[in-house]
Structure 1
Amino acid sequence: MASRTRSSSTTAAPPSGDAADVSTSVEARIYASITSALLQGRLRPGAQLVERDLAAAFGCTRGALRKVLVRLGFEGKLVLEANRGAFVPSPSEEDIRQVYRARQIVEAGIVASLCGELSAQQKRRLNAHVRSEEKAQRDGRVDDAVRLAGQFHVLLTELAGGTELLGLVSQLVAKTELYKALYDPSKGSTCAGDEHAQIIEALDGGNLEAALGVMRAHLAELEERVVQQVRLHSRDDLSAVFSQ
């Protein structure tokens, strides 16, 4: 009994600074790699991420890998099922519409808060962000283009003073980014900079009805692009099954 207590005490000892740094860097590398594969559409809807295979591929422990999978699950980028493992999301059309509906509701409030209230500094910051989006698109940096496109909406939330909303908006944006990448990887960055420039202009103009209209149209267009691709994929799957 005493020896078991000593063993437990040894296990509970915190890692040294160097060990902790190495662990963190390994987890960051795994997180970046899996996120990149998702946003580039290299992992298909419903695909299982087998722990054993991933640990071998990354040359890491399964413990380190699990931490990353849990984080990705919390962010909505993976679906974690007890006793089964981690899977790439395979959302239905209704799942997708519900997330975009949530974005419409939350971001309407953000638009109302910012409309006619943008300071010169805030406007410069938003415009600089749009330029970064456009450059990433021109350079063909898909990961950065997708990340920056989503981050624009998170930035609007931050500027509106929505500290309590940042986590929610970040999660909703992450889900919709993933939906675009899963079903239309060739157009993963369709939340385009010119559309964001129109939102900035509408906010700066101070006409709330116009600003809300621009944001609603922007989100609705993104939603329909994804839903159309989901329907096409569904038809393709059925064709593949019954043509055998």
Structure 2
Amino acid sequence: MYRSISGALLDGKLRPGTPLRERNLAEVFGATRTAVRKVLARLEREGKVELRQNRGAFVPQPSVEDIHAVYDARRAVEGGMLMLLASRLGATQLRALSAHVKREEEAHRAGDREESIRLAGAFHTHLTRMLGNAELEAFLQRLLARTQLFVALYESHDQSSCAPGEHRAIVEALARGEASAAVSTMLHHLDEIEARITRHVTRDDQEDLADIFNRY
């Protein structure tokens, strides 16, 4: 049940605001409502669903203002992070980043949306981890979890095709020691993703829950 709901979210099959009724999920999965509640509680801790008092669980439905606030935070954090990293990365770290981008490109070509989204987020986590700052890494991880869900809810796989190329451009700028170029590419990258997401915040094409989860 957990894998199915997570997969449907990251594949963009569950639309924003969709109610996830305990009774319906119990019927779809042949599970008890107690089991359903445990799964929904785990998904809430991961920021994948919202639990509303006396109303149940829902797929998050962020507003344009919510999306803008989170991406503003990412621009502030990741721009500063790259300025620090540009003079600190060694050859081994640069090779690791390049290898990661290669995996992103392979997942995208294979059409594996869930893996593409996971790897795209992991790229930003790797950059932060290379600074060795646990507080910064934990903060960025929370922001990434929010924006990964935004992408899954509102952006199609075809529209996100530029992400691996933009990540490669960031790595190449870091390899040249060009901090300003790396920051500029990162900010453009985040601007483009935010713009694509906010253009689709009113889309409403929900399918039947049983049909969605049967695929998983």
Instruction: For residue 190 of structure 1, report the CA deviation from its aligned partner.
Output: 4.2
Matched, 1:207 2:178: yes
One of 169, 173, 177 as aligned partner of 1:198 = 169
Matches within 5 A, 1:8-47: 30-47=1-18
Distance 1:35 1:188 in 2: 21
Contact 1:108 1:215 survives alignment (8 Å) = yes
Give 1:51's aligned residue.
Answer: 22
Asked if the contact 2:44/2:50 (under 8 Å) is kept, the reply is yes
Match of 1:97 in 2: 68
C-alpha displacement of 1:191 = 5.9
* Contact 2:67–2:150 (Cα < 8 Å) also in 1: yes
Partner of 2:41: 70
Amino acid at match of 1:206: G
Q: For the Cα contact (< 8 Å) 2:83–2:180, is it kept in 1?
A: no
In the alignment, the residues of structure 2 paired with residue 92 and residue 162 of structure 1 have an alpha-carbon distance, to the nearest angstrom, of 31
Which one scores higher on RCO, CA 8 angstroms, separation ≥ 6? 2
Amino acid at match of 1:198: A
Distance across 2 between alignment mates of 1:147 and 1:104? 19
Please say if 1:183 is aligned against 2:158.
no
Partner of 1:144: 115
* 1:129 and 2:100 matched: yes
Corresponding residue of 2:214: none
Distance 1:118 1:78 in 2: 37
Return the alpha-carbon distance in structure 2 between the equivalents of residues 52 and 223 of structure 1.
Answer: 35
Query: C-alpha distance in 2, partners of 1:166/1:72?
Result: 21
Q: 1:70 deviation in Å?
A: 2.0
Deviations 1:24-51 (A, max 9, x none): xxxxxx3221111011111011100011
Give the gaps of 5 or more residues in structure 2: 206-216
Deviation per residue, 1:182-233 (Å, 9 max, x gap) = 12234474462111011111222223222211111111111111112226x3
Q: CA deviation at 1:90?
A: 1.1
After TM superposition, give the deviation of residue 88 of structure 1 in Å. 0.7
Q: Provide TM-score, normalisation by structure 2.
A: 0.86
Q: Tell which deviates more after alignment, 132-141 or 58-67.
A: 58-67
Instruction: Look up the equivalent residue of 2:68 and give its one-letter code.
Output: R
Who is 2:143 aligned against? 172
Determine the C-alpha separation between the residues in 2 that align with 1:129 and 1:66. Answer: 36
Which structure 1 residue ranges, 5 or more long, are not aligned?
1-29, 237-244
Higher gyration radius (CA): 1
Residue by residue over 1:79-129, the C-alpha shift from the partner in whole angstroms, topping out at 9 and shown as x without a partner, is: 111111111111111111001011111112321221121111111111111
Residue 87 of structure 2 aligns to a residue whose secondary structure is: coil
Larger deviation: 204-213 or 124-133? 204-213
Sequence identity, in percent? 50
Name the structure 2 match of 1:111. Answer: 82
RMSD: 2.0
Which amino acid letter does the alignment assign opposite residue 64 of structure 1?
A
* Contact preservation (8 Å) 2:71, 2:194: yes
Question: 2-side partners of 1:73 and 1:190: how far apart?
Answer: 29
Using the alignment, how far apart are the partners of 1:166 and 1:66 within structure 2? Answer: 30
